[in-house]
Amino acid sequence: TLLYSCKNCNYPMSDKDIAEMFGITTKNVTNGKKEFMKLIKTTPTIFKASSCDPINYILKLGASMKLSKDNIDLACKICANAMTLNISSNSVPMTMACACIVCMCYHLDIPISRKMLINESKLSHITILKATKAVLPYISILISDVITNKAYNIVKECRSQIKIPTYLVNVFNEINI
């Protein structure tokens, strides 16, 4: 599918973008995508499965919103550091990109047209707000690579000291986790 090809080439397109381009519903695109994925699973694969990185979406949205290169770079840094710390990891790439742009604007006190962001991303206000609420509390950490790396190392050290009870290890081993 076109969507799959775009993702493989790191050219961010959403289901809504494709649907709009061809004048069909997003349901049609979603169904086509599901059928394509079934076909890939049953065929000797020459494809590699990948998805666009949120940073690709930041570059696309930043350009369409006419943000400066410095602002786009800061949003990309926030995003990369949020991914390093696994913040808002359940967000899809486009949602994470929007959240990082909003956080960057908030940090730099730049007025942002949420309506423009919603129109460009084709996401709902609530979706963007939820992801933004997950990232924004950490903005003072995420704007600095040095502080992010220190936080990452602290978390990594704490995780390494956690001892999993033997009975849980046995249960996990029984169910092959």
Locate tokens 């990948």: which residue?
A: 50
CA geometry: angle 98, 101, 107, nearest 5 deg: 140
Kindly state the tokens that stand for 59.
């570059």
Asked if residue 79 lies in contact with residue 62, where contact means CB atoms within 8 angstroms, the answer is no
Q: How confident is the model at residue 113 (pLDDT cuts 50, 70, 90)?
A: confident
Q: What is the pLDDT of residues 61-85, one digit of tens each?
A: 998 899 999 999 999 999 999 999 9
If phi > 0 it is left, if psi is from -120 to 50 it is alpha, else beta; for residue 109 that is left
Q: Which residue has the higher pLDDT, 142 or 1?
A: 142
Indicate the pTM of the whole model: 0.68
Residue 145: band (very low, low, confident or very high) from pLDDT cuts 50, 70, 90: very high
| Mean predicted confidence (pLDDT) in 4-22 | 76
